[in-house]
């Protein structure tokens, strides 16, 4: 199954047509129903016979909450190579995503990251991560992905010159030193950062600027999670463009989550026709807006909850149900992301437990 999933990545990198999406999605669903009893139960409860599946749309989606309650995996715990965990909140449970083979994940992440962040680069460039090192947070899928980008796109540098956030404190002097060297060598930089780290940076810089070399770009991901003040996306982007003296289009948002093995990117860096808030999907993942009640796909152009079929989730759940609101654009242009569904409005004085658990 991993080899078949990798074939999508290889074809993408060669510029070849992708293999049959539905065929692999359905085979993965059958495989997962056979090896993950929870998924078999879910299929049964939905009245779906995995052996009869023919379309990815028909695969029952596993809600992301299931990753908090139980192991979503097709393999024995002893075979686990790494377990990624959601960042969670102060009180909420953390979701876990176990993998026994991270090479498929890494290949897909790097291939699609290169497409939307680094396809124009002809040689390694300075890459800095405004986030903690994988040694500090070994269970972070984001850290794992960033480490892959550092290896794939970055020039050689010491870890302390690359990973610039420790205990939520940003090492601005190390960042400054990397920028100075890059400016002297006229090298563009790639900055990988969480939204809250970028807010800390903006707050630290104030009205001053932190000019990046020409051609630099920023990948921004994740929310604020109570670690900084919340800043609307447009304002954050405008502030970053001012501080870094780069075009707003060079600030690229990434959408991903621990429960997935694939990521989605804004296309603004390389596609002049694209706008912020619109995300590209790789040929191995589909974002399907579904009606939150019926779970049926909504008509094109309508907003729904994101059901994501991810062929790289070989050993976990090929289809997951998020709580994010999305809308597909016509003509395979990708999808718009509107953020977390607000949940049912409160009725009566019974509390929404989500509020207590932080919706993490």
Partner 1 sequence: MPMVRSVESRVDDVRAVVRAARAVVDRRDALAPAIVESTGLSSAGVELAMTRHLELDPTDDELRRLVAHAGDASSVAVILSANVFVGALRAIAIARAASTRIVVRPSRRDPTFARALVEAVGDPAIVLDEALDVAAVEAGELHVYGHDSTIADVRARARPSVRVLGHGSGMGVAWISARADLASAARGLAEDVIVFDQRGCLSPRVALVEGPAERADVFAEALHAELERQGVLVPRGPLPADERAASDRYIATMTYACRALVGSDHAIGIAPPGAPMVSCPAYRHVHVTSCATEDDARALVAPLARALVALGSDDEAAARRLAPAWARVSALGHMQRPPLDGPVDLRDPT
Structure tokens given for 149 = 């980008």
- Residue 142 CA: distances (Å) to CA of 29, 50, 264: 26, 32, 13
Cα gap 123→14, rounded to integer Å: 19
Which window, 23-31, 204-212, 218-226, 349-357, contacts partner 1 (CB under 8 A)?
349-357
305 or 311: whose CB is closer to partner 1? Answer: 305
Using CB under 8 A as the binding rule, whether residue 76 contacts partner 1 is answered as no
Stretch that binds partner 1, among 153-161, 187-195, 199-207, 347-355 (CB under 8 A): 347-355
Residue (of 35, 43, 109) closest to 258 by Cα position? 109
Beta bridge partners of 98: 83
- Binding pattern for the stretch 90-119 against partner 1, x by CB under 8 A and - elsewhere: -xxx--------------------------
| CB-CB neighbours of 167 under 10 Å | 6
What's the rounded Cα separation, in Å, for the pair 268 and 248? 9
Question: Is the CB of 92 or the CB of 297 nearer to partner 1?
Answer: 92
Which x/- pattern, by CB under 8 A, does the window 289-328 give for partner 1?
---xx-x---------x---------------x-------
User: Are 320 and 303 within 8 A, CB to CB?
Assistant: no
Between residue 16 and residue 75, which ones bind partner 1 under the rule CB under 8 A? 38-39, 41-42, 45, 60-63, 65-66, 68-70, 72
- Least separation in angstroms between residue 78's CB and partner 1 is 19
Angle formed by the axes of helices 21-35 and 2-14, nearest 10°: 160
- Backbone φ and ψ of 112, nearest 5°: -80, -30
Q: Which is nearer to partner 1, 3 or 91 (CB)?
A: 91
User: What length does the chain have?
Assistant: 360
Q: How far apart are CA 153 and CA 78, in angstroms?
A: 33
Which of these ranges, 175-183, 215-223, 255-263, 287-295, lies near partner 1 under the rule CB under 8 A? Answer: 287-295
> Residue 215 interacts with partner 1 (CB under 8 A)?
no
Residues in contact with partner 1 by CB under 8 A are 38-39, 41-42, 45, 60-63, 65-66, 68-70, 72, 91-93, 292-293, 295, 305, 321, 343-357, 359
């Amino acid at each position: 199954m991993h080899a078949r999933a990798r074939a999508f990545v290889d074809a993408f990198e060669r510029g070849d047509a992708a293999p049959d999406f539905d065929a692999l999605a359905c085979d993965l669903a059958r495989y997962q129903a056979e090896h993950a009893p929870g998924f078999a139960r879910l299929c049964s409860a939905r009245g779906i016979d995995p052996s009869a599946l023919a379309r990815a749309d028909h695969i029952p989606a596993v809600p992301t909450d299931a990753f908090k309650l139980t192991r979503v995996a097709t393999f024995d715990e002893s075979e686990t190579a790494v377990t990624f965990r959601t960042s969670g909140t102060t009180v909420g449970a953390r979701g876990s995503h176990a993998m026994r083979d991270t090479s498929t994940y890494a290949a897909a992440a790097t291939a699609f990251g290169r497409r939307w962040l680094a396809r124009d680069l002809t040689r390694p460039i300075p890459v800095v991560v405004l986030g903690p090192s994988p040694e500090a947070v070994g269970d972070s899928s984001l850290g794992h992905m960033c480490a892959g980008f550092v290896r794939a796109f970055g020039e050689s540098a010491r870890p302390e010159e690359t990973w610039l956030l420790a205990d939520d404190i940003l090492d601005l002097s190390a960042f400054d030193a990397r920028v100075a060297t890059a400016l002297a060598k006229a090298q563009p930089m790639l900055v990988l950062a969480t939204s809250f780290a970028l807010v800390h940076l903006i707050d630290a810089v104030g009205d001053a600027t932190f000019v990046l070399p020409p051609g630099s770009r920023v990948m921004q991901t994740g929310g604020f999670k109570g670690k900084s003040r919340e800043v609307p996306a447009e304002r954050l982007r405008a502030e970053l463009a001012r501080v870094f003296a780069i075009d707003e289009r060079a600030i690229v948002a990434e959408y991903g989550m621990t429960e997935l093995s694939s990521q989605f990117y804004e296309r603004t860096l390389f596609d002049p026709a694209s706008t912020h808030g619109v995300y590209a999907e790789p040929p191995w993942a589909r974002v399907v807006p579904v009606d939150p009640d019926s779970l049926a796909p909504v008509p094109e152009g309508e907003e729904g909850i994101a059901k994501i079929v991810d062929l790289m989730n070989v050993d976990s759940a090929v289809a997951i149900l998020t709580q994010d609101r999305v809308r597909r654009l016509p003509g395979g242009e990708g999808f718009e992301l509107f953020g977390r569904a607000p949940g049912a409005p409160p009725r009566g004085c019974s509390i929404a437990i989500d509020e207590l658990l932080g919706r993490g």
